[in-house]
Chain A
Amino acid sequence: MSDKVIEVRDLSRRFGTTLALDGIRLEVQPGLVYGLVGANGAGKTTLIKHLLGLLRAKQGTVKVFGLDPAQHPVEVLQRIGYLSEERDLPEWMRIDELMRYTRAFHPNWDQAYGLELLELFGLDPAKKVKHLSKGMRAQAGLIAVVSHRPDLLLLDEPSTGLDAVVRRDILNAIVRTVADDGRTAIFSSHLLDEVEQMSDHVFMVDGGKLVLEGSLDEIKESHHLLVLRFPRACERLPPIEGVLSAEGSGNTWKVVCNGAAGQVREAAQAMGGEVTLSRGASLQEIFVARVGRDRLKASQE
């Protein structure tokens, strides 16, 4: 098995009184696309900053390409392409200057690829960053980040606030990065259908903890959505083992459960109810069930 790209062990981080990360353990294998999902403030950006060495690991260890990114910034950052959430670029630079400048730090720069993307996006290389619209900034940042064929592509909320065309461009860039052997992509997003479509593996973060991780196929196959119908209306769903969240009112309740569909069915039938619909849950439904307000605190595994 090839070396892990990223290895995080027991990473915790506190800012003042807030616990931003709580005992995170994860591994990233090469050649896969990883989706990082979580509510706002759940700790995604803090985790990404640790991977880049923008935060030094005070508790726990972080290893990227086998090295500590804060101790070896050059070796690690040379192989990473990172686009921040705010698309932080120097305002005074022109697009061609940005490409020329970034090129100097990454020996694997593919100028032909960069020019191809520039033409595909229809950007004027002489324009300054401060005169670009939001979408064009994302495109310019993407070109600078993808053209040096990074071994690890790290995108923090790449699609936020962008139109459908630019979003396609970004997803396309992720596909192209991973399709070349051995390269890895991690992206965090609020658009869960994008994550569902594009990820091999998913990390779900909530309150600084990693609440769910695994291959997307396994997650989807194990989580089920069931619609239960009871003869009598009830204000709150009686607790059933294995149910992650319950939504609904009166007679009809929609529940999401993990791996225990049969048990839930039996329990519901024991209470006199029946299952009117049973299907696999989408990632959005799983996310809301695990992280949202309707989740049931009693039945966490």
Chain B
Amino acid sequence: MRTPLQAVLWELWRTSQLQLLLVFGFQFAIVLLMYSAVFDGRNSGEATVQVLCGIFIIFSTATSAFSQSWRNTFETNHIGFSFRLGFVRPISTTQLVAVPMVFVVMVAPLCYLLPALLFNWLIGITSYEHSVPLLGPSLLAACIAACLVAVAWTPTTIVGRAFGLVAVGGGLIASLAMYHLHEVRSEPLIIAIAKPGYFDFSWYEYAALIMLPAIAMCVTVIAVDRQRHGDRWQFARLGPRWRKLSIPVPANRSWHQPFSSPLAAQCWFEMRRFGVKLLILGLLAPLIPLAVVTFGSLAFAGREGAPWFWLIATGFCPLVYQMIGADGAIGLRYKQGVLHFSAFDATRAMPNDRLIAIKLLLISLCSLVGWLWMVLATGAYAIMSGEVQWWVQLGQAVSAAVGEVSVIWWIAGACCLVLLYISSTATLLGLGMLFPLYPGFFVFSLVAAISHLVLAIWDAKHGWELHYFWISEGWLLAVVMVLGSGLALRKALVSRSLGKQLFVGMFCLWAIYVSTAIAMFFRAPSGASIPPVVIAIGAAGLLVPLASAAFAPLALASHRHG
């Protein structure tokens, strides 16, 4: 390496290898899956092919646009340019910023182009007339990626970053929506996007797509240059005045309120660490369906789809909060690229199972609060827009389908729901903590799962020739699940990672869950015709929620005790 430019390029290449491998691998796997699912053998309908093309375009463009976002590190520890070490190197700010941004602008479209070429080639083999466009989505991906990097690197405060995200994100979504409405009015996006003329831009649209990354680059260079020399934007001068306006937190008040127990202290700690952020997210979340519905109703004449959006939002938001909460609760940090479990957390005088239980409790509570708030917002919107009738009809339809159900079933169902939520959160926590320790194992499992899926789809088309293989694999899976759960439970109990109190509590909940499952199984009409291997897997799967209670503390222990 002889010039600073070569050095920076080499550094970029070295730090992107893993991410690029993941992105390309993932996309190729999806393309192969699509191909094996639809195009092989049978003649699928034109409409199916079109829909698949549309799905591919949207999915791949989005993946490519966000493919470089890992570089942005949307953490709150440090806000601004990511490669601050470069500030003290003998290299101009322009080079320091422009080279990574150009890299992003070049690589993001590649992340779309290569899978798209593969897709087109595969369709060409099966002699369909369709193909996915190449130029349009690539430019779009490049544009979005460049804007994201600019938003991550330019602001230096949390407020600035939030503002930037909302402004740029909103601007991009608005312009994309306007473009779509300009092109097409009546068809849904998925079908329209695959049609040949969709990505035919006029000259000013091309100009905009090229100018936008260029402008983003210039703005970022200026902002990073100011960061390098310690200058601040003018808005910061409002800072001290603004801080005086904010609520002053009296320092002496906390002296007189010691925590009543270590449990209370740890709950406060976790709340401050991630709970508050989750609550704020839950508070702002109803704005998303509101925006979508409002915008949709402005663009389209009718409002028939509106309650569906609210229903989807209400249904999915607990899962989203769960994932975001688990991510925040894990508390692993990357310092200079190396995984680090803080010694402060590790030397807390509290057993592992209690630490996990507190995290689970807070995630569940914050998700519950967020979900209730979303339900409230849905109700408020329904009342204000006069759609209450739709919800009433939905309720009647559901209760008619379910039939007469006694109170016991409702209670049992609630317990099962609680258990499943807790165990899924615990599994997420455990996986999130173990993945950085054993990445190879996880990648291998993912590859194995995808290859099984591809094989299964292929086999389904060829009349299930391999069904003995599938049956034996099924039995093997059941045995592995039982053994794994048993071992995890035993290890956790022996090493005292899982204490007796919490184990007993989980066991009671789990017992209700198992009895409910068995009761439902026997009540179901078609109980006789299910193959035994499926019953075996189902029975083994019953153990998993209990094992997850052992899994998460064990994962924490492996970080805490090396």
Q: Which residues of A contact B (CB under 8 A)?
A: 49, 52-56, 70-74, 77-78, 80, 82, 84, 86, 88-94, 96-97, 100-101, 103-106, 111, 125-126
Contacts and interface: CB of A to CB of B under 8 A. Distances in A.
Contact of B261 (A55, A91, A104): A104
Given A73-B349, A74-B349, A54 B272 contact: no
A104 B342 contact: no
A77 B348 contact: yes
A90 B261 CA distance: 20
Given A55-B562, A56-B561, A70-B561, A90 B346 contact: no
B258 interface: yes
A55 B352 CA distance: 15
B342 A54 contact: no
Task: Give the 7 A-B residue pairs with the shortest CB-CB distance, closest first.
Answer: A104-B265, A104-B259, A55-B562, A77-B349, A126-B251, A84-B343, A78-B349
A74 B496 CA distance: 11
B127 interface: no
B254 interface: yes
Contact of A88 (B343, B496, B560): B343
Given A74-B349, A82-B347, A90-B273, A54 B265 contact: no
A90 B273 CA distance: 9
A135 B496 CA distance: 38
Most buried by B among A93, A100, A104: A104
A130 B348 CA distance: 20
Given A54-B346, A90-B344, A104-B258, A74 B351 contact: yes
A143 to B, nearest CB: 14
B254 to A, nearest CB: 5
A52 B560 CA distance: 10
A96 B251 contact: yes
B251 A74 contact: no
B557 to A, nearest CB: 8
Contact of B254 (A53, A88, A100): A100
Nearest to B560: A54
Interface in B142-184: none
A105 B272 CA distance: 17
Nearest to A130: B77
A205 to B, nearest CB: 19
A101 B561 contact: no
B495 interface: yes
A101 B349 contact: no
Interface in B245-291: 249, 251, 254-255, 257-259, 261-262, 264-266, 268-269, 272-273
Interface in B335-371: 342-344, 346-352
Given A55-B561, A88-B344, A101 B251 contact: no
A263 to B, nearest CB: 45
Given A101-B269, A104-B259, A126-B249, 15 more contacts: A54-B343, A54-B346, A54-B347, A70-B561, A71-B495, A73-B352, A74-B349, A74-B350, A82-B347, A88-B344, A89-B344, A90-B344, A92-B272, A104-B264, A105-B350
Given A54-B561, A74-B349, A101 B273 contact: no
Given A71-B495, A104-B262, A126-B249, A96 B347 contact: no
Nearest to B269: A101
